[in-house]
Every structure is written in structure tokens, then in C-alpha cells.
Structure 1
Amino acid sequence: MALRASSLPGLRSLVGAMALFLCFGDAAAAAGGAGGTIGVWKNYTSMRDVRAAALTGDTLWVATGGGAFRYIIADTLYTLFANTEGLSSNDLTAVEVDPDGDVWFGSSTGAIDVYSPRDRSWRRILDISLSSQPMKGVRSFLSTGDTILIGTDFGMSIFIRSRWEFKDTYLKIGPLPAQVPVTTIALIRDTVWVGTLQGLAMAPFHRPLNSPSSWTGFRQSDGLPSNAVQDISDSPFGVCVATSQGAAVLSGALWSGLVPSLQGVDVVRLVNSNEGLFAALRTGSVYLVSPARQAAPFAQNLPSAPTALLIDRAGSVFVGLQGNGISFYPAGQGARTILPNGPTSNLFTSLAVNANGTLWVATGFNGRGTGFFGFDGTKWNSYTVQQYPQLGTNDYYRAAVGAKGSMWFSSWGTGVAMLDSHGGLHVFTSANAGFVGIPDDPKFVVIGGVASDDRGNTWMTVRTAADGNAIAVFTPDSTWKFFRNGYNSSLTLLTKLVIDPYGTKWIISEDPQRPGLLYFNDRGTLDNQSDDIWGFLTTDDGLVSNSIRVIAVDRLGDIWVGTDLGLNHIVNPTNPTAQGAISPYVPLRGVLVSSIAVDALNNKWVSTPDGVVQLSSDGTDAVQYTSASTNGKLIGGTVGDIAVDASTGTVYIGTDQGLSTLTTIAVAPVASASSLVLSPNPFRVPSDGNVTIDGLAAESSVKILTSDGLVVNEFDTPGGRIALWDGRDENGNAVPTGVYFIIAYTRDGAQVAKGKLAVIRK
């Protein structure tokens, strides 16, 4: 190991001070800090869309379209599970609890994840997902003894838990058509019943199920209301089935309608109880059929279609709902909702982080939106038209940070909503702001991009404004002003907008007359439009395509332009038409770029059809993240937007299947450095991990010293608040056991921070 005396000015006094530091300990280092959190993925999804549920004791296990959650009824406690907690897929379709208490989750991909609550471990079964079947989703489970029966999109499989292997797979079940989806499986009095979308089959469970002669099939010709069987249950009247055209009971060898009120209706779930048979209808009702075969409504006007139905030993009823969690009817009490706090939707179309570190999300348009919501790191708060009728619609599709701590949300048809710094909600429409909407309906106002300048103005585009006022500005005194397109007033289909440090507004034109990049500078005189500067850039000026998807301003004031054919870098935004002002980013040539975010170290985070690419500050290095390369920790699906919280280094990646976050070292530097937070401390070497050095001023360098003041390593940091050290000296050797002093200093020596680290050599 190379040792040498430090040449850092003032080192002698620092080492002397740190000798006292050694005696009394490092409270900041002991407290931990960012250590252990760098490079950690976390997923957030909406778990409103219940697909299936299972009950064991007072614990409810729920499979949803955004992962799973456990709910302990007595304690009202939730535990959430997504890709980052061990699931192979968040798009769950089935759940079952086996006799050992292990929980089986099936997904639309065919992956099966088995969770052990005892030791919080996971086991994966990927045989179905890796099969050659074109459709391979898991639709149902039945656990009995050592056996798990698995209903899939193409048949039924039998899995033996003790051997942890498949025993058999049936692509054809008795007389039913081959390779039909198995929707439900039940074991009633030693007979296995299998419901499919093409009929029902039964067989004695002790007989060979691979023998066609073991099975008896039933279809509409045998009295079933429909061949689309959705559930099977025992009842006081015998075996009953739920179909898309009603519920039926087996009488001898034929089926007959159960009760008149359950005929000709879509019955999705059945469950037997001491009170009789409960039946859930897709129309949003639950009926109870008494032992005397009299049906009465149990619950009506549910907010959406039921998807699961359970009853516990106390007689409490649980109704899983499409998009609305679980309606819980405790015995003898009023109904309540079981739903963990979370986003209202898995559509993360647009993201923005405000100065407080709150993430804001807009969800969608054309009927797919569910309003907008915020996340402060702990709690999600939603804003929907059901909660706030003044919003006028749930189709809010863009989120942006405005002036004076405000947040703005662009709607598809109503105008724009603003949350002020105190949380007050304001909605600006054609009626109260002067917007003029599309030519066919001037009251239908679609706001595009929103951005604020350094004078407290909030700017936005008005898509296809019928009066030509395609740019609007909300001033610090809460008045509205409007601008026509000074380059070409007939071009009004203007969408996203950003503002650079020079006050220039960069605006995407999607106008079919002339797509490209519009730029505009009002020169600080809102009331004098005669001095405004306008310009327009296309492929003639060096853009790789005129079909622009996104624009961003980096930490140096440069402009980055994402298109359907790659990425451009405008290195001279004050004179963008000058020779060499626009250059293509060659590594992404021909690749669609749909979003760009810039972190505290000026790295660019770029979304592509394959995932996300992180470009270094100078663009010379690139790291790609995909769902496959991260083992599903980056949620699959299409990336809608990316945002960065510079105060924590968190990168938010919004997709159409949920939100992924990644913690990075790109944290804004501290204004005044003093003590360093080192983690983990003590640090064991050699190690696959690193020591996190937290608390750096901008552009710091770091020296690692022994307790004798000898330098074992020194390096420049990335420039932000955090740096990493791998516990090795300048020659790449792991340092010996001992106490080491970490000293960070700025280039001019004006700021120095220190910390103490214990190293244990294995």
C-alpha cells in the first residue's frame, strides 16, 4: 500500500483536531445517512384494481393489477409487495394460501411467486412463463394437501410442493375443447371441478386425471346458462356455478337456474356460508341466497364490478372490486373500504418534483385520466373530479412546477389547474382566464407545456387556440396575458415548453403545416411585443427530425431535443442558427426519445422504447436500464416521463404500469460543508459495496488518511453532495484494519469537511 504525507494546507491542525474527534466519536457518522441507499430501486403502483383475494385467519392477501398487499384485519395494517419486494410481475391474477401458510401469487405472464411469511423469503416457478404457449397467464389456484392445482390460459397443471416440481399438465380436460382458459378450480366432496370459458368438467380426485374417461363434461346443452364458467361453489342446494348468463345448481345430471334474480345476469363469484350462498354480479351487486333458495340483495350500487368474494369465520364479507379496492362488511357493522394508500392509477404520464421534494403526477387524457396526485415520500394525495368537482374532468395529462412554489396541471379540455404554495386549488378555464379553445369548441381548452421564468411568470401553450393566442402567461399579480405565434401566427398546435436561463421559451410545434422547434424571447417586456425575438428550427438547421417529442434545459443552459429519430444537443442556445450550434447525439441516432430529465450532476436521463439511458454530464458515457437488466425493478411498459429530485438524488421513472425510483449519488452539494456522514461505518473490506461519503460542497476532492496522517488514496468527486470510496488504496489494494480520516475540500480550499471511518479487514 502506497503511503505518503499529505500536501493539503492545514492538515496538521486538522489531524490534531481529529484526534479529539476520535476520542469523542462521530455522532454524524454513527447516525448513518445516505449509506446503503445508493443504487436502490423501489416501485410504487396502484393496488386499487383487485384481481383475486385469499383469507387465512385474520389476514387478507390481495392480488391486484399493481402487485399485492397483505391486510391484517385486527390491526388494520398493510404490507405492500411489488417487483422490488420480490414479485416477478406486478400484474397479478390469482392468489392462494397453502396448508403451510405460504402464499402463491400467479401473474398474467405465467410467473408464480411463492412467499413465506415466516422468513419473508420468495421462491419462483417460471416453467409456465417460459413455456411456448402463446397465452400463459395464471388464472386460478386450488391448494389441497401437498398439491397445487393451477388454472392457466391453456389448461391445468398440477404441482407437488414437497418435490417442488410439476407432476402433469393437461391441455385438454375431459370432453372440453383443448387449450381453453381455466378460470376456476374447486374440490367438493373429493371431486375436482374445473371451470373454463368453454364449459365445466368434473372428475373424482382419486382417479387418474390424465385419463379422459375420468372426466364428465357439462355445457349449455346440459343446462348451463353459459359455457363461460366463472366460479364454482358448494351450497346448501348442492354444487353451484356462476356463469356470464346466470347461476345454476346441479340437479341429477342436469343444471337448472338457481333463483330467478340470478338468471340472465353476469354472475362472477360465489361463496358458501352458514347463512346461505353469496353471489356477486358484475353489475355491482351482491345477493344472498338463503337455504330456502330465496334471494335478497346484500349489497347494491357498488362503485365497480366485483372481482373477488370472501367470507370469514365471523361472517364478515369481503368484496374485491375492479379499480376500487375491497368493500369490507364486518359482521354487524357498517361497510368500509380496504385499500392501501397509493396512487390513483398506474398511468404515470407526466412527472414533476417541486422545491419541497414532493413528486406530482398527471395521469392521462381522452378518458384515461384519473386526475393528478402528489407523493411526499410517505403519503399519496389525490385530486380527482369526484373529490373536487371544480376540476371539471379527470383528464389531467401534464404536471409542471410554476412560479412562487405553485404546481400546474394541464387538462385535456377544461384548461389548467394550479395548486398554490399553500395548497389552494385554482382552476383556470375559458370562462375565468380568457382561454379560447379549439376551433370546433372554443370552450374545450387543452393546455400543453407549462414553465416559469426567473421573473415569477408562469408560461404555457394553448393547443390549437381558435383565436391564435397560442401562448399564455400568468403574471405575479395573477393576471393573464396572451401571445400569438410571432414567427407564424397560423401555427397554433404548440405543445411542450421549457425556458432557458436567458429567458428564451423553447416550444414544440406539432402543427402539420410546420413541425419543429419554435423559440421566443420576450426580452423581459411583456407589454411590449414589438421587441420580441422569434425563430424556428427544423432539420434544415441540424435537427435529426422535425417530429419532436421532448425538450429539456441542462445545468449549463444547453438545450436537449428528443425526437422520433434520436437526440440533439443545442450547445449555443443564444444563437441556435449559428454554424455548429446544433449537434446530434450519435449513440442514440435513430432511437425514439420521449422524455429527458437532468440531475444535479448534469447527467441526462433519457427514455427510449427499451427503457432508460443515463448519459454522463458530457455525454461521453451511457448506462442503459431496462426491465430485464434490472430483474424487473424498472417496471415494464412504456416510460411516460422522468423527473429528478436534486435534493435527494432520486430519479423517478413513470410508466404506464406504475412508478420506479432509483437512488443515485447525483445530489445537490451542500452550501456550507463541515462534517461528513460516512456509511456503512464500520466498513468491511474487501467489499462489493462502497462507503458513502455524504455532506460535500460543490466540486470537492477527497483524501483518505490513516490516523498517522498518511494519504492512502485521493480522488475528485462527481461534484455533488455524495461520493463513494471502495476501501482501497491508490494501487487498488484493500486497506488494512484501522481508523481512517476522510477529508473533503473544495478546489480553493475555502471549505473543508471531515469524518472518521473504522475499517475492518476480513
Structure 2
Amino acid sequence: MNFALMFRYCIFGLPLILCLMWEIPLAAQTDGNWTSFTDMNSSSEFIYDGSLIWGAAPGGAFAFYRDGTLAKKLTNIEGLRGLELNTVEADSAGNLWFGAVNGTLSKFDSDGNYLTYYFIFKRRNVIDEPLIIYDLSADNEWLWIARQEGISKFSIYNNGGEIKENIEHMGSLVRPDVKVVFIDDNRIWFGTKNGIGYADKNSPFLPDGAIWTVFDSGNPAGLGNLDIRSIAYFDGHVYAGTAYGVYFYNESSYPGTWNLSGLPEQEINSLRLSADTLFAATNLGPYYTAGGTWQPYNMAGYPGGEVDDIAHVPEAGLFAAFSDGGFARYNGLWESFYLPGPRGQDYGDIVATENEVWGISYGVADQPGLAINHFDGTTWENYTDANSGLISDVFYSTAIDSSGRAWFGYWGNGISVYDQTDSTWFNYNHDNSPLYGVGGGYVVISAIGVDADRNIWMGSFKANLPHGIFILKSDSTWQEIQLSENGLQSNWFSRIILKGHQALFPTLEGFDMLDYGTDLVNTADDVWHHFDKSSDLISNASFDADFDNNGYIWICSDGGLNYYDPQFDYLDSLPLPFGFGPAVRNIEIDGLGNKWLATPNGLLRLSPDNTSWTSYTTTNSQLVNNDILSLFLVKSAGILWIGTMGGISRFDTGLESPSLELTEIRTYPNPAGPKFAQKVYFSRVPFGAKIRIFNIAGEKIQEIDATNDNGLTSWDFQNSSGETCAGGVYIYHIITASKDYSTTGKFVLIR
């Protein structure tokens, strides 16, 4: 990529704070096609731009219409450079600004089209440390940034956008984390966990802490709580929403005093002014005042719950964002709603077929998971113990069997199976099956596997010895594999991997491998192998494993990557590239032999010959989050589903074994064009095949030779003369080198 890169320096106090700006629109990655799925069912901040209500969410940005229906979603695919957002603001030109936890400031136009972004960071030696952005306040040509360790005054228009100065000393407060910033006529106000203060916004000496008037523990001036959550101007006074109560500033005599306005027992998350009324989002719901006492806002029928922010829209009512997720709108009646998409951000397990995916925002012990999420290619459904046959919200593992039934392992309640054909649920636990757990009845199913004979293998985590693997066979009978001296060594299961007559059991106490021969029931011919640190396993805490195309077994652990050659009974390790690992949480191996690895630092691909690495991070790809928890590869389609700490990525790798008879050729994206990607891709094209592209008039405009062994060939929208082709419908014809097979299709090019 050719990026125009500009550093903006401002040395108005130490340490040095910099703003790095990308001046051109984002370019597509060079291979594959990405989609992001994130949870936007909460909002730390709303703004109303006159037509849409915009929200800053943990998974990106969204906008809904005045009736509550979804209008837009913005993720990294649309250009956001940070998805965990704290704040959104509109400037005087109508452009939208989004501040993120990773220090990025993303700029979009009023229609939600990406314009540019800036990176606010602190330079320490040679390491650039991002500064969390907490709040934004627009003031004509200025954007005031409340951030970690202070405030930045940002010029919106000068040199395309740059930091003018940094403010890190306000009275007695030195480098405080500023959670809120507010402009009141000629003053700039700030709020922290330890106090509030103001100064003349036009002063040329803002970095000088002496010019600030600050109310903190040394000078509270009547402020009963110093943890400032929000600031607003109402009825001739500045109001402060705190961790306990709303206060207003009385400046009839310098330096002024603070008086309690109301709600002294409530947490005030946000204050909003609309139509001469001041609204408060609190832990007990929305409140308002027109200048007198505070009143609950139309609580009849209120769905309940703590509110993070509110937006009052004339003639459309009041919108509330709940801390526990979801929204509500009051316009005569309260109506609750959720935005479509997955629930939760951390996906510890994920399984898929060509037609669907299940992703678990999982729970452990007494920490509940948020939801089990199902996507059928068009629609997301979210399952919880409140709206389905799930018997608990502490779910942990999942699998899909050959009949399309979905299995879900609980932390303490056994396992449930969901049959989509008739929407029925059934639970297996200690009371109605042989399942045995901790103390008998507390059954943690931490791993599930499905073999070719449709048997369901379940790992009972830390069950009372000697219990270990329970197998529900296709004939509805049960079989158990118990721990033994020469067999299964641990029941601290991470995964179960099954292929043919082999079973792999990564555990937190080593790695066990079983070859059960031709008969699962007959244990006389079972062959077991056990590996741990004493046998050169990098770490005993193994997480996952897989078989490659050459018969090797690859083992992931919190210490790195091992491989085992069963022919020579040889175990060795392979170091990861610098900056990745050491933990490898998951591995998937595609039909070409590429090894895909999930790490806390991004996605890695090891070539089939094990000699070269390719990395995918949020910096060089459209991966939704670098902290990867789970992978699932749909080998027949070359689609990699990636569960992360920040949502789900779907990566259409294009790395599939070639379709020799051309029966499984895919073209993507379709529609194609610069808005979607810089090329159109043809997957599974055999080496040596020819792709001929025709316009709608039947004229051949380009011919491409398939020269990639990985089956992926692309067209850059140029004709044989090197000219860029116009938008329209195009036809492709592919013929193999032997001329025995051919296929034809079409796609749309949009300019």
C-alpha cells in the first residue's frame, strides 16, 4: 500500500504526545475477503445529528432511525480504526468523530463514510503507547479530547488535522485520566475521578496548571463526590453528574461553591439537555428535572436496569442504552429492542458449516456467558437460558453433528443438544445419563467432538477420578474412557479432535493420543501415547491439535507449537515469528496444508512446507481483534471463522484445494469494485486453467492464466490494454488446461 503518512508533533509539556494521521482512504488487504461481526447492543454515548441517533459501542458504531430501527453499522470493515469506542461527537461541518480505547480518533462524514483517522499516542523511548480516548467535545474549529493523562486540543482543519497543544497539569492534578470534557461559552471544563475544574479555553497558557480553577479533595467547595461522570450547562449553571448525585456550580462569589441538585444515592452516568429539560442516566434508570426536583422519567412499564446514556429526540421520545445490553425507547410506551448481530465480544468456542456458524460468548464457574449466537448467513439469533431450552447461562463448549444438531457444554450442568428441525432442546446431566463430574453432579463439559460414526465425545473437566471421556454413541448407548496408568492421563480437557480411528486430547496436564483401531468398543487393540514436558512438549498446558496432510500432528500450548511424526515417534517444536505467542490457542489446517494459528497477538499462517509465515493483525488486515480465542475452518469453502476478544471475523481465505472439474468455483466479492475490494477473486481454479472475461456484449476484454498452486486467481478490473473497465455485468468463462472441463458465470462490477 502507498500511504501518505504525516507526523504532527506538539511539545507543550512532557511526555511527548503525538498524532499520526492517515490521509487517504483505507485500501483493501491483498488477499482474501473479511467480514466483521461485533456486539453493538450497548452504548457509552449517544448523539442525535438531526436525523439519526448515533451510538459509540464496544464493537463499533451504529445509528438508528427515530423509530429505533437500525440505519447503519460501522466496524473496521467500514474504516473504524478502533472498535472499542468510548465517545462520539459531531463537529460544526456535520462530520462524525469516534474516540476509541486504543487511542484512535476516526473521522466519518455525516452519511457514515470513512474520511481519515488519527492515532493519539505517547512516545516512550522507541515504543508508541496509545492513550485511551474517553470523551470528545467539538467547539467550532477545535476538537477537545479527554484522554488518559490529560487533554489534547485538536485543530480540525489546520494541516488536515493536528494536535495544537497538550494539557497535563490542572491545578494540583498532574496527568490525570480525564473522563469528560465540556465547553461552556469561553470556558473549558474537565472531569476526573478525583475532581473537576475549568479554565479560559482561549488562554495561551492552558498547559500551565496555575491558570486552572480546580475542585478536588483539597478544595471540594461543597462538592460531595469527586468522581465526575458527566458535565452539562442548564438553567444558568454548570451541572456535574457524579458517582453519587448531581451538583450545580454557584459562582455568585469567586471561586464559587457546589450545591447538591438531587439524586444523592444514585450513580449518574450521563447528563443530557433537551428542550429546556435536563435528563440524567442513572443506575436506577432515567430521571429528569425542569428546574425543580428530580423525577423518574415515565417509569410505568419501564423495562428496568442501569442506563449508560440517553438521547431525547423531539417527537420521537427518549432513547436509553442499558449497561447490561439492549436499548429502550419511550414514546408514550416503553419498547425494548436489540440491534441485530451477535451478543458478547469474547468468543471462546466457534463451530461452522458452509451454511451456518455457532459462536459462544462463554462463561466459566460463576461468570455467565452472554449468549450462544447462531448465524445462518443472513440473520443472527441469540440464545440464552431466558429465551430457549438452555438450562444455564454458563456455557463453555460447542459442536455440530452430521445431522445439523448443535451441542453445548455447560460449566456444571452437563450438555444440551438443540435440534433445529423441530426446535427442541434436550439436556444430559448426572441425573439422566452416565455423565459424572466434580462430586458427581457438577458436570463441566469443556470439550466436545463428533466422529465419522456420529458418536458424540464429551470431556468431563476435572471429574472425580477415574472419570474422563463419555461417548454418546449413535445407537443411543453410552461408553466411557476412564483415566488409567497406561491410557488417558488427565481429564483437564481443552479440546477433543477426532479423525478416522484416532482421537487427540489436549489437556492442561499434557497431551494424550488414542488409536482405537477398527472397533471403539474393543479396547484390547487401543494404543495410547502421552506427552508432557518430560517428553519435549513445550508446555503441559496444551490447548488444541490437528492432523496435517502428511500425517504429522501439530500441538498448540501456552508455550508455543509442537509437531509429532508418528512414523518415527518424534516430537519437536517450531518457534513462532517475533512478536507472536508464546501461547497458541487453536490450530486449523486447510486442504492445501496451511496451518492457521490463533495467538493473543494475531493470526498466523504457516506454509504447507513449514518454511514461511504470514501474519494477520488489525494493522495489516481487517481482523477484528488481535486477541484470538478460537478458530474454525470450513475446509470445503476455505472460510476461516475467528473468535476473538472483540468479536468474530469471517475470513474468506480463497485457499482451497482446486476444483479439478470446476464444479466448485466461487467468485467474490459479488458485486465487485473498489468499494468492496481492489480485485475480484476466483477461488479453486486449477493450475494452468484460463479465465476469459467478457462484457455484456460478448466481447472478450481480458484473459488470465491461473498460475497459483493455491487455486486463487484474481482480476484487477483492467482490460487487455491496461484500461480500467466500466461498471456493469461481466461474464467469465474458465477452461482447464486439458480442455476437459469448463464453466461459466457472471458478476457485477460497481464503480
- Bin for the TM-score computed over the shorter chain: 0.7 to 0.9
Equivalent residue for 2:145?
150
Distance 1:705 1:88, change over 3 A: closer
Distance 1:77 1:131, change over 3 A: farther
For the Cα contact (< 8 Å) 1:595–1:642, is it kept in 2?
Answer: yes
Equivalent residue for 1:103?
96
Equivalent residue for 2:376?
376
Equivalent residue for 1:137?
132
Equivalent residue for 1:6?
none
The structure 2 residue matched to 1:596, chosen from 572, 584, 587, is 587
- Displacement of 1:676: 6.5
The structure 1 residue matched to 2:174, chosen from 152, 175, 178, is 178
Structure 2 residue matching 1:404: 3-state secondary structure: coil
Is 1:536 the equivalent of 2:525? Answer: no
Distance 1:719 1:170, change over 3 A: closer
| C-alpha separation in 2, matches of 1:131 and 1:552 | 41
Provide structure 2 residue ranges, at least 5 long, that are not aligned to the other structure. 1-27
- Displacement of 1:129: 6.0
| C-alpha separation in 2, matches of 1:629 and 1:617 | 22
Distance 1:641 1:567, change over 3 A: same
Is 1:641 the equivalent of 2:642? Answer: no
Is 1:612 the equivalent of 2:603? Answer: yes
Structure 2 residue matching 1:365: 3-state secondary structure: coil
The structure 1 residue matched to 2:689, chosen from 697, 702, 727, is 702
For the Cα contact (< 8 Å) 2:374–2:382, is it kept in 1?
Answer: yes
- Displacement of 1:471: 1.1
Distance 1:170 1:596, change over 3 A: same
For the Cα contact (< 8 Å) 2:351–2:398, is it kept in 1?
Answer: yes
Equivalent residue for 1:426?
426
For the Cα contact (< 8 Å) 1:676–1:694, is it kept in 2?
Answer: yes
For the Cα contact (< 8 Å) 1:304–1:324, is it kept in 2?
Answer: no
| C-alpha separation in 2, matches of 1:65 and 1:683 | 30
Note the aligned Cα RMSD (angstroms): 4.0
| C-alpha separation in 2, matches of 1:434 and 1:474 | 10
Is 1:654 the equivalent of 2:652? Answer: no
Equivalent residue for 1:258?
261
Provide structure 1 residue ranges, at least 5 long, that are not aligned to the other structure. 1-34
Distance 1:600 1:234, change over 3 A: same
Per-residue CA deviations over 1:205-230 (Å, capped at 9, x if unaligned) read 55556266754333463111112222
- Displacement of 1:736: 11
Equivalent residue for 1:77?
70
Is 1:402 the equivalent of 2:401? Answer: yes
Is 1:552 the equivalent of 2:546? Answer: yes
| C-alpha separation in 2, matches of 1:677 and 1:221 | 67
Per-residue CA deviations over 1:155-198 (Å, capped at 9, x if unaligned) read 2222232323333322123x341222222233345444332322
Structure 2 residue matching 1:652: 3-state secondary structure: strand
| C-alpha separation in 2, matches of 1:586 and 1:271 | 54
For the Cα contact (< 8 Å) 1:48–1:322, is it kept in 2?
Answer: no
Per-residue CA deviations over 1:596-621 (Å, capped at 9, x if unaligned) read 01223332211234322212333333
For the Cα contact (< 8 Å) 1:352–1:401, is it kept in 2?
Answer: yes
Question: RCO higher in 1 or 2 (8 Å CA, sep ≥ 6)?
Answer: 1
Equivalent residue for 1:356?
355
- Displacement of 1:59: 0.7
Per-residue CA deviations over 1:366-393 (Å, capped at 9, x if unaligned) read 31522321222332212212323x5333
Structure 1 residue matching 2:81: 3-state secondary structure: coil
- Displacement of 1:587: 6.0
| C-alpha separation in 1, matches of 2:269 and 2:410 | 36
For the Cα contact (< 8 Å) 2:78–2:114, is it kept in 1?
Answer: no
Equivalent residue for 1:217?
214
| C-alpha separation in 1, matches of 2:417 and 2:316 | 47
Is 1:664 the equivalent of 2:667? Answer: no
Equivalent residue for 1:310?
311
Per-residue CA deviations over 1:621-677 (Å, capped at 9, x if unaligned) read 3312233333xx223342111112234322222211222232221246558536977
| C-alpha separation in 2, matches of 1:541 and 1:134 | 40
The AA in structure 1 aligned to 2:604 is V
- Displacement of 1:581: 5.1
For the Cα contact (< 8 Å) 2:287–2:294, is it kept in 1?
Answer: no
- Displacement of 1:116: 0.9
Per-residue CA deviations over 1:435-490 (Å, capped at 9, x if unaligned) read 1111xx32111113221222221112212222523111112233333222355478
For the Cα contact (< 8 Å) 1:463–1:492, is it kept in 2?
Answer: no
The structure 2 residue matched to 1:477, chosen from 457, 475, 478, is 475
The AA in structure 2 aligned to 1:143 is A
- Displacement of 1:239: 2.9
Distance 1:588 1:243, change over 3 A: closer
Per-residue CA deviations over 1:484-518 (Å, capped at 9, x if unaligned) read 2355478442414445543121212434xxx3323
Structure 2 residue matching 1:85: 3-state secondary structure: coil
| C-alpha separation in 2, matches of 1:490 and 1:552 | 18
Equivalent residue for 1:187?
183
The AA in structure 2 aligned to 1:376 is D
Is 1:524 the equivalent of 2:522? Answer: no
Greater displacement, 370-379 / 453-462: 370-379
Is 1:39 the equivalent of 2:32? Answer: yes
For the Cα contact (< 8 Å) 2:177–2:192, is it kept in 1?
Answer: yes
Distance 1:73 1:470, change over 3 A: same
For the Cα contact (< 8 Å) 1:190–1:204, is it kept in 2?
Answer: yes
Distance 1:177 1:545, change over 3 A: closer
| C-alpha separation in 1, matches of 2:309 and 2:671 | 50
Equivalent residue for 2:271?
270
| C-alpha separation in 1, matches of 2:183 and 2:405 | 58
Structure 1 residue matching 2:625: 3-state secondary structure: coil
> TM-score, with normalisation over the residues of structure 1?
0.80
For the Cα contact (< 8 Å) 1:456–1:476, is it kept in 2?
Answer: yes
Equivalent residue for 1:457?
455
Q: How many percent of aligned residue pairs carry the same amino acid?
A: 22
- Displacement of 1:726: 7.9
Equivalent residue for 1:16?
none
The AA in structure 1 aligned to 2:314 is R
| C-alpha separation in 2, matches of 1:742 and 1:61 | 45
- Displacement of 1:120: 1.7
Task: Pick the structure with greater CA Rg.
Answer: 1
For the Cα contact (< 8 Å) 2:514–2:526, is it kept in 1?
Answer: no
Equivalent residue for 1:329?
330
Per-residue CA deviations over 1:523-557 (Å, capped at 9, x if unaligned) read 3243x444544343446666455442211134565
| C-alpha separation in 1, matches of 2:115 and 2:724 | 36
| C-alpha separation in 2, matches of 1:224 and 1:80 | 40
Distance 1:303 1:522, change over 3 A: farther
The AA in structure 2 aligned to 1:648 is A
| C-alpha separation in 1, matches of 2:535 and 2:608 | 24
Structure 1 residue matching 2:432: 3-state secondary structure: coil
- Displacement of 1:753: 1.3
| C-alpha separation in 2, matches of 1:160 and 1:706 | 49
The total of aligned residue pairs comes to 693
| C-alpha separation in 2, matches of 1:89 and 1:103 | 14
| C-alpha separation in 1, matches of 2:445 and 2:669 | 48
Greater displacement, 639-648 / 103-112: 639-648
The AA in structure 1 aligned to 2:425 is L
The AA in structure 2 aligned to 1:255 is W
